[in-house]
Structure 1
Amino acid sequence: MRNRNVAAWTSAVVAALVATALVSPAAAATSAPPTSARSCPRLSAKLPWYGDNRARLQRTIDERGTCGGHRGPRPVAAFDWDNTVVKNDVTDATLAWALTHDRILRPASWKSTSAWLTDDADRALTAACGTAVPAGTPLPTSTDTDCTDEIFNIRESGTTMSGAAAFAGDWNHRRTVPQYAWVPQLFAGHTVPELESYAAAARRQALAAPVGATLTLGTHTLPAYVRYYEQQRDLIRTLRRAGFDVYIVSAGSEPVTEVWSRGVGIDRAHTIAIRSVLDRRGRITTYNEGCGGTGRTRGAAIPYIDGKRCWINQDIYGIHGRAAWEKQRPERRIALGGGDADTDVTFVGDATGAHLVLNRNKTEIMCRAYDDADGRWVANPMFIEPLPPRTGTYPCSTAAYNRPRGGLGPLLRADGSVVPDQADTVH
Structure 2
Amino acid sequence: MRNGKVFALVLATAASLAAVVLPSSAAAVARHCPRLSTDLAWYGDNRDRLQQVIDERGSCSGGGRSRPVAAFDWDNTVTKNDVTDATLGWALRHDKILRPKSWRDSSQWLSDAADRALTRACGTSVPVGSPLPTATNTRCADEIWELRENGRTMSGAAGFAGDWNHRHTVPQYAWVPQLFTGRTVRELTAYTEKARTEALAAPVGATRTVGTHEIPGYVRYYDQQRDLIRTLQRAGFDVYIVSAGSEPVTEVWSRGVGVDANHTIAIRSVLDRRGRITPRNEGCGGVPAGRGDAIPYIDGKRCWINQEIFGVRGAAAWEAQPWHQRIALGAGDADTDVTFVGDATGAHLVLNRNKAEVMCRAYDDEDGRWIVNPMFIAPLPRKSGTYPCATTAYNEPRGGGGPLLRRDGSTVPDQRDTVH
TM-score bracket, shorter-length normalisation:
over 0.9
1:282 equivalent to 2:278? Answer no
Contact 2:14–2:323 under 8 Å retained in 1: no
SS at structure 1 position matched to 2:17? coil
SS at structure 2 position matched to 1:383? coil
Q: Distance in 2 between matches of 1:75 and 1:196?
A: 30
Question: In 2 relative to 1, CA 263–7 (structure 1 residues): closer, same or farther, beyond 3 Å?
Answer: closer
Contact 2:8–2:309 under 8 Å retained in 1: no
Listed as ranges, the matches of 1:138-287 within 5 Å are 138-287=131-280
- Letter aligned with residue 17 of structure 2: A
Listed as ranges, the matches of 1:75-94 within 5 Å are 75-94=68-87
- Letter aligned with residue 108 of structure 2: A
SS at structure 2 position matched to 1:252? strand
Deviations 1:257-315 (A, max 9, x none): 00000000000000000000000110000000000000101011100000000000000
SS at structure 2 position matched to 1:417? coil
- Letter aligned with residue 405 of structure 2: L
SS at structure 1 position matched to 2:416? coil
1:388 equivalent to 2:349? Answer no
- Letter aligned with residue 101 of structure 2: A
- Letter aligned with residue 194 of structure 2: A
1:368 equivalent to 2:364? Answer no
- Letter aligned with residue 108 of structure 1: K
Aligned to 1:342: 335
Deviations 1:9-43 (A, max 9, x none): 8xxx45x3445439xxxxxxxxxx99701001100
- Letter aligned with residue 292 of structure 1: G
Question: In 2 relative to 1, CA 307–239 (structure 1 residues): closer, same or farther, beyond 3 Å?
Answer: same
- Letter aligned with residue 218 of structure 1: G
TM-superposed deviation, 1:8? 10
TM score, norm. by length of structure 2? 0.96
Question: In 2 relative to 1, CA 187–63 (structure 1 residues): closer, same or farther, beyond 3 Å?
Answer: same
Deviations 1:209-253 (A, max 9, x none): 000001111111111000000000000000000000000000000
TM-superposed deviation, 1:50? 0.3
SS at structure 1 position matched to 2:239? strand
1:358 equivalent to 2:351? Answer yes
Aligned to 1:29: none
Contact 1:17–1:73 under 8 Å retained in 2: no
Q: Distance in 2 between matches of 1:6 and 1:426?
A: 38
Q: Distance in 2 between matches of 1:342 and 1:332?
A: 23
- Letter aligned with residue 4 of structure 1: G
Q: Distance in 1 between matches of 2:121 and 2:230?
A: 46
1:296 equivalent to 2:297? Answer no
Structure 1: give runs of 5+ residues left out of the alignment: 23-32
SS at structure 2 position matched to 1:112? helix
Q: Distance in 1 between matches of 2:51 and 2:183?
A: 43
Q: Distance in 2 between matches of 1:142 and 1:218?
A: 8
Aligned to 1:2: 2
Contact 1:34–1:70 under 8 Å retained in 2: no
Question: In 2 relative to 1, CA 381–5 (structure 1 residues): closer, same or farther, beyond 3 Å?
Answer: closer
The counterpart of 2:55, out of the listed 62, 66, 77, is 62
- Letter aligned with residue 114 of structure 2: A
SS at structure 2 position matched to 1:39? coil
Q: Distance in 2 between matches of 1:237 and 1:6?
A: 20
Q: Distance in 2 between matches of 1:284 and 1:376?
A: 41
TM-superposed deviation, 1:6? 5.4
Question: In 2 relative to 1, CA 279–240 (structure 1 residues): closer, same or farther, beyond 3 Å?
Answer: same
Question: In 2 relative to 1, CA 286–20 (structure 1 residues): closer, same or farther, beyond 3 Å?
Answer: farther
1:21 equivalent to 2:14? Answer no
Q: Distance in 1 between matches of 2:5 and 2:384?
A: 47
TM-superposed deviation, 1:134? 0.4
- Letter aligned with residue 296 of structure 1: A
Q: Distance in 2 between matches of 1:41 and 1:302?
A: 34
Question: In 2 relative to 1, CA 366–119 (structure 1 residues): closer, same or farther, beyond 3 Å?
Answer: same
Deviations 1:172-207 (A, max 9, x none): 000000000000000000000000000000000000
Contact 1:34–1:67 under 8 Å retained in 2: no
Structure 2: give runs of 5+ residues left out of the alignment: 19-25
Q: Distance in 2 between matches of 1:54 and 1:375?
A: 16
Contact 2:280–2:292 under 8 Å retained in 1: yes
SS at structure 2 position matched to 1:221? strand
Deviates more, 1:64-73 or 1:189-198: 64-73
Cα root mean square deviation, aligned = 1.4
Aligned to 2:22: none
Contact 2:75–2:83 under 8 Å retained in 1: yes
Question: In 2 relative to 1, CA 278–38 (structure 1 residues): closer, same or farther, beyond 3 Å?
Answer: same
Contact 1:353–1:376 under 8 Å retained in 2: yes
Q: How many residues align?
A: 413
Deviations 1:387-410 (A, max 9, x none): 001011000000100000000000
Q: Distance in 1 between matches of 2:234 and 2:258?
A: 12
1:109 equivalent to 2:102? Answer yes
Contact 1:34–1:71 under 8 Å retained in 2: no
Deviates more, 1:34-43 or 1:362-371: 34-43
Contact 2:114–2:153 under 8 Å retained in 1: yes
